[in-house]
Amino acid sequence: MTSITQMVENLVRPEIRALSAYPVGDASGMVKLDAMENPHQWSEELKQAWAKKIQHADINRYPHPQAPKVKDGLRKAMNVPEQFDCLLGNGSDEIIQLLTMLVAKPRAKVMAPEPGFVMYKMIAIFCGVEYVGIPLTADFELDMPAMLTCINEQQPELIFLAQPNNPTANLYSESQLRELIQASQGLVIMDEAYLPFSSRNHLHFLEEFDNVLVMRTLSKVGLAGLRLGMIFGRSEWLNELDKIRMPYNINVLTQISAEFALEHYDILLGQCELIKQERTRMQNALTELGFTCYKSEANFILARADMAFEGQAKEIFEQLKRHNVLIKCLAGGHPLLENCLRFTIGTEGENGLLLEALKDIL
């Protein structure tokens, strides 16, 4: 009889067996500063108003397949021109998967700068599409000669450009982005997951270019638990994406909650402003402690422990866990991130606990 190990080897694609599942750290009982979440809760008054909405949810029925009220709320909150369509996903991850499935022809390619969001590569592998990662420069800027060479020689069907980028938190030059879009004959996705903390958006690219789509999420603005992502663009593209979207992918509770939250979007943006203020304070404090902090346009800070604590990023990460503070250790993930740590911006109190722990460790 064939062993289960042999059956797995026989049936599961080797590139899937070679992967590791997306790592999520156990944050039980810790100050959670590892996942770029909005740390601020709603007021009790707002929670009660939301609970009243939820009470009337028809959870015995399938949700509306298109969630039109959510889309209307997004258009209004994000100032999206009416001529562009909107498609919703169960988080941005589902939309990335739909985009990759859309172009998954034999020998199709997905391209993205690295280091970047790991799901671009993982989903390409899931879908059996070749992934081409182009390293950033040492200061985390686009390597334009390498990017343009790849586009001209390989013509990837899909290019992901995260703005701001995760995990480096920076914006690329708009003129460089435009040059890449003009060189590409494929789809170019502007991933604006961290838009609420950024000084620039790219909706205008939708009017300039036929091959650009803009992807966003409500996770970073304070609704990570809802798992709601969205993509805006011309209906010619989104109609094709809709054909492979799973029916009823946005559940009843998410739709009601998102509709309610978008009616109070100003509150969420106000919380984002508090996070931006704390980001400035934390950049200064971490620099004073001896870290090299890179300019951030997101709700986290990339810092390198390369001066006073050379080679100690992993040790600092482990020591922080012993102080019940969880951050993200990036050392070992990509050569450009050697000795790097990523600090999500928390509340003033949470950030204070982090700094006290770092002072104790260092």
- pTM of the full structure: 0.94
Say what the pLDDT of residue 200 is.
Answer: 96
Say what the pLDDT of residue 276 is.
Answer: 98
Name the percent of the chain in helix, strand, coil, to the closest 5: 45, 15, 40
For the segment 145-190, what is each residue's pLDDT rounded down to a tens digit?
999 999 999 999 999 999 999 999 999 999 999 999 999 999 999 9
Residue 106 token pair: 């034999």
Q: Which of 12-26, 154-168, 313-327 has the lowest mean pLDDT?
A: 12-26
Residue of 1 and 8 predicted with greater confidence? 8
Say what the pLDDT of residue 158 is.
Answer: 98
Say what the pLDDT of residue 310 is.
Answer: 63
Every domain range in the chain assigned CATH 3.90.1150.10: 4-43+266-361
Say what the pLDDT of residue 309 is.
Answer: 63
pLDDT-above-70 percentage for the chain: 98
Give the N- to C-terminal CA distance of the chain in Å, as an integer: 57
The mean pLDDT of 121-140, rounded to a whole number, is: 96
Residue 60, amino acid: N
Whether residue 136 has pLDDT greater than 80: yes
Provide the mean pLDDT of the chain: 95
Which of the four pLDDT bands, split at 50, 70 and 90, describes residue 27? confident
User: How far apart (Å, rounded) are the C-alpha atoms in residues 326 and 121?
Assistant: 25
Per DSSP, the three-state class of 23 is coil
Every domain range in the chain assigned CATH 3.40.640.10: 59-263
Say what the pLDDT of residue 28 is.
Answer: 84
Topology adopted by domain 59-263? Aspartate Aminotransferase; domain 2 (3.40.640)
Q: Which long-range contacts (CB under 8 A, 24 or more apart) does 176-183 make?
A: 176/142, 176/144, 177/202, 177/205, 178/205, 178/208, 179/144, 179/148, 180/142, 180/144, 180/147, 180/148, 180/151, 181/205, 181/209, 181/211, 181/212, 182/209, 183/148, 183/151, 183/152
Whether residue 137 has pLDDT greater than 70: yes
Which of the four pLDDT bands, split at 50, 70 and 90, describes residue 60? very high
**Among 6, 82, 70, 38, residue whose Cα is nearest residue 262:** 70
Name the packing angle between helices 252-263 and 265-288 (round to 10°): 80
4-43+266-361 sits in which CATH class? alpha beta
Torsion sign (Cα): 117, 238, 229, 59: negative
Say what the pLDDT of residue 103 is.
Answer: 97
The mean pLDDT of 199-224, rounded to a whole number, is: 97
Say what the pLDDT of residue 19 is.
Answer: 84
Per DSSP, the three-state class of 343 is strand
Whether residue 33 has pLDDT greater than 70: yes
Say what the pLDDT of residue 306 is.
Answer: 76
Whether residue 308 has pLDDT greater than 60: no
